[in-house]
Amino acid sequence: MRVIRSVGKAGVYVGDQQRALEFYRDALGFEVRADVPMGPGARWIEVAPAGAQTALALFTPPGLENRVGTFSGIVFECDDVQATYNELKQRGVRFTEEPADQPGGVMATFVDPDGNSFVLRGPD
């Protein structure tokens, strides 16, 4: 029997692909894995933390524009939430929740330029 072994990509709905690319690449430090034309006025853009198995696709299919600026459901793992929070804040990342101890670890919440929110999580 074959089983699912990993998540390859997760979609992030964005309103402006270039602005999103610059945020994920420059502010979060993600590597660009793909940036290719995809029809008129659109690109297929994939970014990921260096060495990560799962990439984010920065794309909004037509008809799903109402999903831009919502909770993504994506949790980014790091070794030290406070240090990562400090670094990302210096790079201009806007946090809506500062690091706090919660069940499951230390967590903080930040948003991208489109208002999509993400959780930053570290060990307990």
All domains of the chain, ordered by start, with CATH?
Answer: 9-61+69-122 (3.10.180.10)
Alpha carbon distance 19, 120 (integer Å) = 21
- The model's pLDDT over 10-69, given as tens digits with 9 standing for 90+, comes to 999 999 999 999 999 999 999 999 999 998 888 999 999 999 999 999 999 989 999 999
Alpha carbon distance 105, 2 (integer Å) = 33
- The model's pLDDT over 85-124, given as tens digits with 9 standing for 90+, comes to 999 999 999 999 999 999 989 999 999 999 999 999 998 6
DSSP 8-state code for residue 93: P
Length of the chain: 124
